[in-house]
Amino acid sequence: MKVIKRNSSEVTFDISKIITAITKANEAVEEDARMTPMQIKRIAEAVELSCIRMNRAPGVEEIQDLVESQIMAHGAYEVAKKYITYRYTRALVRRSNTTDEKILSLIECCNEEAKQENANKNPTVNSVQRDYMAGEVSRDITTRLLLPEEIVQAHEEGIIHFHDADYYAQHMHNCDLVNLEDMLQNGTVISGTMIERPHSFSTACNIATQIIAQVASNQYGGQSISLTHLAPFVQVSREKITRSLKEEMEVTGVTLTEEQMSKIVEKRLREEISRGVQTIQYQVVTLLTTNGQAPFVTVFMYLGEARSEQEKKDLAIIIEETLLQRYQGVKNEDGVYVTPAFPKLIYVLEEQNIHEDSPYYYLTKLSAKCTARRMVPDYISEKKMLELKVDKNGEGHCYTCMGCRSFLTPYVDENGKPKYYGRFNQGVVTINLPDVALSSGGNIEKFWKIFDERLELCHKALLCRHERLKGTLSDVAPILWQYGALARLEKGEPIDKLLFGGYSTISLGYAGLYECVKYMTGKSHTDPSATPFALSVMQYLNDACKKWKAEHNIDFSLYGTPLESTTYKFAKCLQKRFGIIPGINDKGYITNSYHIHVTEEIDAFSKLAFEAQFQQLSPGGAISYVEVPNMQQNLEAVLQVMRFIYDNIMYAELNTKSDYCQECGWDGEIEIIEQDGKLIWKCPKCGNTDQSKMNVARRTCGYIGTQYWNQGRTQEIKERVLHL
Residues known to be catalytic: 174-175, 402, 404, 406, 425, 559, 564, 702
Classify 158 as helix, strand or coil: coil
How far, rounded to the nearest angstrom, does the alpha carbon of residue 515 sit from its chain's CA centroid?
21
Task: Decide if 719 contacts 590 (C-beta within 8 A).
Answer: no
**Torsion angle defined by CA atoms of residues 316, 318, 322 and 327, in that order, rounded to the nearest 10 degrees:** 50
Which distant-in-sequence residues (6+ apart) come within 8 Å of 598 by Cβ?
591, 627, 716, 719, 720, 721
Strand partners, 346: 300, 378
> 374, 375, 382: which is closest to 400 by C-alpha?
382
d(CA 662, CA 336): 9
Count Cβ atoms within 10 A of the Cβ of residue 259 and give its class: 0-12 exposed, 13-18 middle, 19 or more buried: exposed
Q: Is 691 exposed, middle or buried (0-12, 13-18, 19+ CB in 10 A)?
A: middle
CB-hemisphere CA count at 13 Å for 323?
23
Distance, CA of 620 to CA of 676 (rounded, Å): 41
Strand 694-699 and strand 704-705: the pairing is antiparallel
DSSP state of 144: I
**If DSSP states are collapsed to H, E and C, what string results for 368-380?**
HHHHHHHCCCEEE
Measure the CA–CA gap between 448 and 706, rounded to whole angstroms.
Answer: 40
Q: What is the β-pairing status of strands 651-655 and 658-661?
A: unpaired
CA torsion angle 454 460 463 467 (round to 10): -150
- Please tell me the distance from the alpha carbon of residue 515 to that of residue 537, in angstroms, as a whole number: 12
Cα–Cα distance between 685 and 667 in angstroms, integer?
Answer: 10
CA-CA distance, 120 to 111, in Å (whole number)?
Answer: 16
Determine the residue type at 154. A
Using CA atoms, how far apart are residues 420 and 427, in angstroms rounded to an integer? 17
Q: Tell me the residue ranges of DSSP E strands in 123-247.
A: 160-162, 176-177, 188-190, 193-195, 223-226
Q: Residues of 545-578 as b/e, b for ≥16 C-beta within 10 angstroms? A: beebbeebebbbbbbbbbbbbbbbbbbbbbbbeb
CA distance 131 to 478: 21
